[in-house]
Structure 1
């Protein structure tokens, strides 16, 4: 490409992305335009303005043999650069290999006040076809494919007794599907009450999308990482994240730096993604790392991430937010599964970059050098002054406004 992406001006980057993704002039312009207030007012209540986030492009991502430019919306410095660098190392060994299951979501109907709960469960399961017919009458774009029922005992201090949870399994195709799932649950609720003789309380989807799993793996060249010792140190870092929740939480925060940034850029419900991912991290009763790392037979480092990801390329914000629509086009995904795989790859890449930095010089060196630019601006630097001030205070190890003002004053003299 001649210049490396990070060396380009904004205009050059936009021109490159526009050419690679086949964007129209209007689509390319959406990267520089804030969401219209009228649109914001329709999306949320009591709207007063727009909160913007930086949007960048992570490069070097080769996912299942396809080159992808990965849009990331995030305010934290070093994340996009780190993910791009990790992806470049993975690319030398074939890039990321990923798989994603069907877009199956679970909708829950909670039934209480049942005197014969086991009999009620059997009645529901015997009437699966009837319930599915009711559910499917509410949508032409998604389809309910199964009904399950299980007994849940109240584990809270309130001792509300046993509950029957009737679960619709719904194939949401290329949508995240929250609204459709909720509508179907509400549709079957009266019939469930009639069948069981109980009272329905909740009728809502579950964001613990364990039927919608994505897995992504990659091999990272030992020498590109820094040699045998670096691989060893990364494995020690993984050992702590797998074994200690205090480290696992911060380890997974790094994973979600990549996951959330792509989710935000493409208009996904990142809160639902976060909740499901963290629940999955604690599935064996102890909160653990979302990633696994090991040494290959040739001494390289291999990594894998697995997590539930309920995402969509149709419906929701992805259809109404112009920047999200353009970001999806830049990413070039044609299905919800492809989007999920790209998001997982970003999470794995960002995790590798973070633990590599932590296991070597520490996270602050690179992070603070980037943060120094913000400090320089806060001190009043403009134009070319920003980089000069940032470099000086980063080299001095004094990344604060007071030192930045001193350096700026000396430069201007």
Structure 2
């Protein structure tokens, strides 16, 4: 049986890590080469992905190990520039294994498209009128995407809201669209565009905005974890709960708490070719949905004294269309995960976010965040000044021991030690 649990994985040479991942995910030689090739995204494809292309920008892709989610083993591709993120997530996933790993769920793939109707003298009357024509509206929208409807998707409901704004009352129509395994932005926007003239006709108002909402409250990913008190060590459970309690009542702390969660979420979203900005905006909006900015996780203690945590956040990711189907490395990343549905991908991402938060809280509540960061920062500085192999390790060791992690000092040590 395949396992994502490895001891000393980070110590292995890059080639050996790649071999293990390729074996785990059953990658072909061609797919393995795509992962290690900085030119895997050809210029001609890049030129069609965005405008005014002048080159390509490469970030490191690492792998989160030790993850067991809903009983299944995962090695998780993560693209990030920030040191310690992947190691922290992997360490937290290891801590979670004794409690059965992560258990995750997904509420479905319903996206909201908003249509703004203005210039109404009777917005509440217009709202009822729209509800009376709901079936016609749904049919008009679904006619624009028969393929989506064929596979079980399409508009499933129409909702209305009257808002009192600085420029007067306006009526907002929500099209609730099941986008299946697509993120769905193009589909829901096209539907909103198509039905706008009809809404003007039956309400007598004027339609302005027709656009999806990234606050995907009907597309929530949830995950939970139990970490044995013996795994964490005496006093650490209570220390983590104190750290969480701080974030729960203080938006200044909650912002950094949630940033740590996104340290895990965004690298997986990026690796699989999904929209990081959509996920981040939705997550932070959801954190504020009560009117006060709150943590996206909740940490508690169970009756046996073990640490238990949960996460809930909007997760509008897809496997159909966009960069997921265009970018060669994103395609390989999806294969590495072995996911077949957007719901499985969403549950994985939520679990990684929960793991990242667990790791961050443990470090903050015990040794402090700088220790791990400084080790990796020292390695980056030593690399910057040109140190390699044994000399690099020697410079890193000295900087950490002397707690003097600065570029100038790395350069001084390099000049001093390389002449010996």
Q: Fold conserved (TM > 0.5)?
A: yes
Q: Counterpart in 2 of 1:109? A: 115
CA contact (8 A) 2:244 2:298 kept: yes
* SS at 1:145 equivalent: strand
Shift in Å, 1:384: 3.1
Matching residue within 243, 246, 264 for 2:249: 243
Contact 1:295–1:301 at 8 Å: present in 2 too?
A: yes
Matched, 1:292 2:298: yes
Q: Is 1:27 aligned to residue 31 of structure 2?
A: yes
Q: Secondary structure at the match of 1:315?
A: coil
Q: What TM-score results when the alignment is normalised by the length of structure 2?
A: 0.95
The structure 2 residue matched to 1:4, chosen from 5, 8, 29, is 8
Displacement of 1:3 after TM fit? 6.1
Instruction: Find out whether 1:55 has 2:61 as its counterpart.
Output: yes
CA distance in 1, matches of 2:54, 2:315: 32
Match of 2:133 in 1: 127
Aligned to 1:334: 340
Cα displacement (A) at 1:258: 0.3
- State the distance in 2 between where 1:8 and 1:137 align: 54
Other-structure match for 2:320: 314
Asked if the contact 2:6/2:65 (under 8 Å) is kept, the reply is no
Q: CA deviation at 1:385?
A: 2.1
Shift in Å at residue 7 of structure 1? Answer: 2.0
Contact between 2:6 and 2:66, CA under 8 Å: does it hold in 1?
no
- Determine helix, strand or coil for the equivalent of 1:346: helix
> When the two structures are superposed, what TM-score results if normalisation uses the length of structure 1?
0.97
- SS of residue paired to 1:384: helix
C-alpha distance in 1 between matches for 2:124 and 2:294: 35
Residue of structure 1 equivalent to 2:157: 146
> Would you say the 8 A contact 1:231–1:300 is kept in 2?
yes
Alignment partners' CA distance in 1, 2:385 and 2:15: 27
Partners of 2:87 and 2:407 in 1: CA distance: 24
Q: Secondary structure at the match of 2:198?
A: helix
Q: Which residue of 2 aligns with 1:212?
A: 219
Q: How many residues align?
A: 408
Cα deviation digits, residues 17-40 of structure 1 (max 9, x gap):
111111112211111223222111
- Across the aligned residues of Structure 1 and Structure 2, the Cα RMSD in angstroms comes to 1.2
* C-alpha deviation, 1:388, in angstroms: 2.0
- What residue number does 1:278 align with? 284
- Determine the C-alpha separation between the residues in 2 that align with 1:70 and 1:235: 28
Gaps of 5+ in 1: none
**Structure 2 equivalent of residue 189 of structure 1:** 196
The alpha-carbon deviation at position 402 of structure 1 amounts to 1.9
1:232 equivalent among 238, 261, 266:
238
Aligned to 1:200: 207
User: C-alpha deviations, 1:65-108, integer Å up to 9, x for none?
Assistant: 00001111000000000100000010111000111011000001
> In the alignment, what sits opposite 2:370?
364
Question: Per-residue deviation at 1:246?
Answer: 0.5
Q: Distance in 2 between matches of 1:347 and 1:3?
A: 22
Match status 1:170 vs 2:177: yes
Distance (Å, rounded) in 2 between the aligned partners of 1:245 and 1:282: 10
Where do 4+ consecutive residues of structure 1 move more than 6 Å?
A: none
Partner of 1:404: 410
